[in-house]
Amino acid sequence: MAISGLFRKKTVQDILKQVEKNNADGANALSKHLTGRDLTAFGIAAIVGAGIFSTIGKASADGGPAVIFLFLFTAIACSFAAFAYAEFASMVPVSGSAYTYSYVAFGEIIAWIIGWALIMEYSVGNITVAISWSDYFTGLLESGGLNLPQWIQMDFLSASNGFDDATALMQGGKEFSNLSPSLQNAYTAWTTSPVIGSFHFVADLPALLIIVLITALIYRGMKESRNASNIMVVVKLCVVLLVIAVGIFYVDTANWDPFAPNGVTGVLKGVSAVFFAYIGFDAISTTAEECKNPQRDLPRGMMWAIIICTVLYIAIALVLTGMVNFSLLNVGDPLAFVFQQLDLKWMSGIIAVSAVVAMASVLLVFQMGQPRIWMSMSRDGLLPKRFSKVHPKYKTPSYATVVTGFVVAVPALFLNLTLVTDLCSIGTLFAFVLVCAGVLALQNRTDIPRGKFKTPYVNSKYVIPFLIVAGLVFAFGFNKKATMDFITNEAKTNTSETIVTALNKEDTKKVYDYLVQIDPKNSKDGNVDLEHLLGQYQKDEVKYSEVIAGLPLANSIKYESGFSLFKHKVPMWIFLIVLVGLTVWSFKSNLSLIPLLGLICCLYMMAELSVWNWIYFGIWLLLGLVIYFGFSHKNSKLNLKAL
């Protein structure tokens, strides 16, 4: 197999000719219904969802009011990427999104990799949103007096892991009533579920329900999907504005002091959650062939969606952290929670209903994007022909839409929220990195027709080195301890919950006896809640370190060190090495600043994700390469054309 064949490229001219041909014969053409306003609404529908109704709570609890800077940073990073998307969308107004853009910039193998990554982004993103929708929907039913059994409203993985953790904590002396609500629910789901042999039937059936309904709507047509999306966007924007308007009268500015209680580390801890709040604007680019004027409206739709949503996110974050102390916001439904705390239950009810609508609109946009990626890949011969089939009446990619429904529905029954959120984020960030890199690779090419939108050019030759020097001054001047701990791989003390859940019965007794020995009050009233006894010291970092050092346990239980710690830093080391290479490239080639900053910011956010997400993502890409070399390479239309 010739290496050059892996990097064969599509030309913009050929892509545009194929689109004209599809429009002329009508059989493979999609219906054109979307305007700039519709695209902005789709962007808002995708962005204002799980982020504002769920993940903003955890991010605010970690970073305090200063989480607004994380929203700003993420919005700026996404805006840099949006410039690159907009330039490509204006240049190549077809449904393939980053997949098609990479085919033009880098060649077939990279296009396949990014298309395969986008399948992960949309599939896993849909799973994430479906699970979140299920949580809000079942909560709404419970508030109305209808309690579904736990085993039909929780995924298998959460129930299994939660049962194991709950059992370990109860073995350490914690009462069931003192477990967190999530662990109580998981334990109940596992122990009350139907059992077939040794298999516990635990499945998130409400998540399955919403996926089936949304898939049916998307199959029916773009016009119907657009109308439903616009209605849902109006509803949730009204609710968000109502929350801000009412909540502002209950803001206590004392809650904003300290503004950054956990410093920069606390703010950056929410990178994954906050970034997940923004993904979705790229889904707009998959609708290019259904736009009336894609070269004008796609860039506008992306930019306006990001600007509007950023303003809303910052306003909501300031209101939430002003209404209650930031430490109370680590809940799944922060908007409803803060109004419950202030005894405004009528607002909580409105928010609960609107959250169900908001999640459904996000799922609609995500579920709409994936079939169009598959359709584009099928048109190029990289997937079987039936994936590019357009319904003769509804003018939608019908087969791909149905397959998408199955691909999302089945995993949603069994996978948990944390795993799929991070996987979705890494797939999306990878796509953003390649799109930004694509703009840089094409910036000096004169043989490519340009669209109406072009990213403003600013030479990065001296800006990037200056920013790196500024970063080094901050790291070693204002954050020296954390920086040196990172470089020297300093051992990290495990949390009380991590330690307790790793103990057997013998070690549990040893730890309890030690805690009573250092403070007899720990035996008061026969309290043997080991996680609580050990966790009470965590508020004082120095004291906690002393207590952990004295525990009669192996260091492997008390600390994370050596390679087990270093492996989590591998993504950041990869980022730093690539950053040096990008700096050299920018100096030699006078790269455009905006797409380069987009690439750097997105790669940094990838580095902040767990190494396990990189490993799972790597496995996903390897599986994709097996399919590519087994089917796609030989069936590629470019390959057949070359024969």
Length of the chain: 643
Q: What number of helices (H) and strands (E) belong to the chain?
A: 32, 4
> Model-level pTM greater than 0.85?
no
d(CA 77, CA 71): 10
Whether residue 41 is contained in a domain is answered as: yes
358 and 382 housed in the same domain: yes
Q: Would you state the pLDDT for residue 421?
A: 63
Query: What's the pLDDT score for residue 179?
Result: 77
pLDDT tens figures, 424-461: 778 878 888 888 888 888 777 776 666 677 888 889 88
φ/ψ of 330, rounded to 5, equals -80, 70
Q: Which two tokens stand for residue 223?
A: 């016009």
Residue 528: per-residue pLDDT: 63
User: Is residue 321 located within the same domain as residue 249?
Assistant: yes
User: The tokens of 553 are what?
Assistant: 């346990």
Count of structural domains, the chain: 2
Query: Does 561 map to a domain?
Result: no
Q: What's the pLDDT score for residue 431?
A: 82
If asked whether residues 165 and 31 sit together in one domain, one would say no
**Per-residue tokens: 339:** 């109004």
Contact 162/182 with Cβ under 8 angstroms?
yes
- CA-to-CA distance for 104 and 264, rounded, in angstroms? 39
Write the burial class of residue 342 (CB in 10 Å: 0-12 exposed, 13-18 middle, 19+ buried).
middle
Q: What mean pLDDT is reported for the chain?
A: 80
pLDDT tens-digit profile of 380-412?
888 888 888 887 777 778 888 888 888 888 877
244 with 295, same domain? yes
Work out whether strand 559-560 and strand 492-493 pair parallel, antiparallel, or are unpaired: antiparallel
Residues 137 and 98 in one domain: yes
Note the pLDDT of residue 575. 92
- One domain for residues 183 and 227: no
Residue 472 covered by a domain: no
Which tens digit of pLDDT belongs to each residue from 189-209?
888 888 887 788 888 888 888
Burial 425-437 (b: 16+ CB within 10 A, else e): bbbbbbbbbbbbb
Residues 135 and 189 in one domain: no
Q: Which residue has the higher pLDDT, 135 or 434?
A: 434
Residue 641 token pair: 């054309």
**Pair 278, 395 in one domain:** yes
Regarding whether 180 and 32 lie in a shared domain, the answer is no
pLDDT of residue 263: 75
In a domain, 292, yes or no: yes
Residue 503 lies in a domain: no
Q: Identify whether 538 is part of a domain.
A: no
What mean pLDDT is predicted for residues 514-523? 76
What residue numbers bound the domain in which 283 lies? 3-144+215-458+618-634
Q: Could you write out the three-class secondary structure of 5-44? A: HHCCCCCHHHHHHHHHHHHHHCCCCCCCCECHHHHHHHHH
pLDDT of residue 273 exceeding 70, the answer is: no
CATH of the domain at 91: 1.20.1740.10
pLDDT digits (tens, 9 = 90+) for 90-110: 777 676 677 877 888 788 888
Considering the domain architecture, whether residues 192 and 326 belong to the same structural domain is answered as no
Q: Of residues 15 and 166, which shows the higher confidence score?
A: 166
Report the distance separating Cα 219 and Cα 204, nearest Å. 23
Helix (H, G, I), strand (E, B) or coil at 493: strand
Question: In this structure, is residue 441 part of a structural domain?
Answer: yes
Could you tell me if residue 23 is inside a domain? yes
Instruction: Give the Å distances, CA to CA, from 341 to 114, 250, 347.
Output: 45, 11, 11
Domain check: are 85 and 185 in the same one?
no
> Could you identify the residue written with the tokens 């490993």?
615
Render pLDDT for 606-633 as a digit per residue (tens, 0 to 9): 888 888 888 888 888 899 899 998 888 8
Q: Give the start-end residues of each E strand in 169-312.
A: 195-196, 199-200
- If you compute the radius of gyration of the chain from its CA atoms, what whole number of angstroms results? 26
C-alpha to C-alpha distance for 359 and 412, rounded to whole angstroms? 15
For 347-373, what is the mean pLDDT?
Answer: 79
Same domain flag for 60 and 19 = yes
Look up residue 284 and give its DSSP letter. G
